[in-house]
């Protein structure tokens, strides 16, 4: 069991997509050794409840992702959260009992559960300040969540030193750029390319105007599958990060690269009952003020044809 700092608690049939997006973003910011999520951190054959208890005990912060089905309501039966053996209840109750910093994260306008809706060992959750995470403002909400995690963890969750920019480094870079511009002129610099290490996206001289929020309505490669998807893209140079929704649930952008007027990235989806993640590979070309996408979905149990669509800026 590796040491961890951030435990992500969620109900799979309620918020698995959001959980993956949050995990990917926190792992990128804090390092995956500091983030625990069941599908990535519990090996086959391990006792689920025992691993959960140890992971909670090793954590400093528990994020509770709460969507519309978080209580596990069932027709004619008590909600799943009322069952002593419910894993979501076990996770949150253990965190509260251990005195962890617990942050509820309300998804897409879900109201905070009241104390009356919760079993006795979870009622303290109703009194915790909650954050919101909404697909329509995902980029801003995830930044607020990351800031709250930083505050809760202190130095443990600090961004790795290699990603920090100290004032003297920023000043030195600025002086270097001014010198280059003076010697060679802007037009010459704008058409140059800089070498990069293998596996790193090549920085572009003039980054294509792809940063921002994009939206597309299209059908996937199965019947009755018309969805509106949002793409929140950011970064600088050849780097690309942000989120891309799949079936209207945002996923974190991984392996994002920008080259000239084109971009590429992947997202991942965990589907119940399947071994491994479903991988979604996106490629797009900026034409005017439109992103022309090709999406290829890959999984081990079925084949998918590429899907093409056009996203427009919002």
Instruction: Give pLDDT tens digits for 86-99.
Output: 889 999 999 999 89
CA distance 209 to 194: 19
pLDDT at 306: 85
Which residues, 6 or more positions from 41, have their beta carbon under 8 angstroms from its beta carbon? 2, 4, 51, 55
CATH code matching the domain that covers 212-313, chosen among 1.10.132.20, 3.30.479.30, 2.40.128.30, 1.20.120.530: 2.40.128.30
> How far, in Å, CA of 232 to CA of 252, rounded?
10
**In contact, 9 and 3? CB cutoff 8 Å:** no
Span 193-203, pLDDT tens digits? 333 434 444 44
Domain 6-157: CATH superfamily is: Toll/interleukin-1 receptor homology (TIR) domain (3.40.50.10140)
Choice among 180-184, 205-209, 220-224 with the minimum mean pLDDT: 180-184
Host H or E run for residue 312 = strand 307-313
6-10, 158-162, 203-207: range with highest mean pLDDT: 6-10
- How deeply is 162 buried, as exposed, middle or buried, from its count of CB atoms within 10 A (0-12, 13-18, 19+)? exposed
Instruction: State the pLDDT at residue 3.
Output: 56
Pairing of strands 262-269, 61-66: unpaired
Find where tokens 């202190």 sit: 154
Element of type H or E holding 175: helix 167-184
Evaluate if residue 170 carries a pLDDT over 50: no
Start-to-end CA distance of the chain, whole Å, equals 44
Sheet hosting strand 101-107, strand order edge to edge: 35-36, 6-9, 61-66, 101-107, 131-133
Provide the residue ranges of all domains of the chain, joining segments of one domain with +.
Answer: 6-157, 166-190, 212-313
Q: Residue 8 to residues 27, 76, 103, 148, 207: CA-CA distances in angstroms?
A: 11, 30, 10, 14, 35
Side-chain-side CA neighbours of 32 within 13 Å: the count stands at: 7
Q: What is the DSSP string of 229-263?
A: EEEEEE-STTEEEEEEEETTEEEE-EEEEEETTEE
Q: How far apart are CA 102 and CA 194, in angstroms?
A: 45
pLDDT of residue 24: 87
Contact 107, 18 (CB under 8 A): yes
């Amino acid at each position: 069991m590796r040491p961890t700092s951030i435990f992500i608690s969620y109900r799979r049939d309620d918020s698995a997509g959001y959980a993956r997006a949050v995990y990917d973003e926190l792992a990128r910011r804090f390092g995956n050794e500091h983030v625990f999520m069941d599908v990535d951190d519990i090996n086959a054959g391990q006792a689920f409840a025992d691993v959960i208890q140890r992971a909670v005990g090793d954590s400093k912060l528990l994020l509770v992702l709460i969507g519309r089905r978080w209580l596990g309501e069932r027709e004619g039966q008590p909600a799943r959260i009322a069952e002593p053996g419910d894993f979501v209840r076990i996770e949150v109750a253990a965190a509260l009992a251990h005195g962890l910093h617990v942050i509820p994260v309300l998804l897409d306008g879900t109201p905070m559960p009241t104390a009356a809706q919760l079993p006795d060992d979870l009622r303290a959750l109703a009194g915790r300040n909650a954050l919101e995470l909404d697909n329509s403002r995902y980029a801003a909400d995830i930044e607020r969540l990351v800031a709250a995690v930083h505050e809760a963890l202190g130095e443990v969750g600090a961004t790795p030193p290699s990603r920090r920019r100290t004032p003297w480094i920023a000043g030195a870079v600025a002086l270097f750029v001014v010198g280059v511009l003076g010697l060679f002129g802007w037009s010459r610099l704008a058409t140059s390319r800089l070498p990069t290490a293998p596996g790193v996206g090549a920085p572009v001289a003039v980054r294509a105007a792809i940063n921002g929020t994009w939206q597309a309505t299209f059908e996937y490669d199965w019947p009755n599958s018309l969805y509106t998807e949002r793409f929140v893209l950011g970064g600088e140079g050849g780097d690309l990060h942000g989120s891309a929704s799949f079936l209207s649930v945002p996923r974190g952008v991984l392996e994002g690269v920008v080259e000239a007027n084109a971009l590429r990235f992947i997202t991942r989806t965990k589907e119940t009952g399947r071994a491994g993640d479903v991988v979604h590979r996106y490629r797009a070309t900026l034409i005017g003020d439109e992103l022309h996408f090709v999406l290829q979905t890959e999984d081990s149990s079925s084949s998918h044809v590429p899907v093409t669509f056009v996203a427009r800026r919002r």
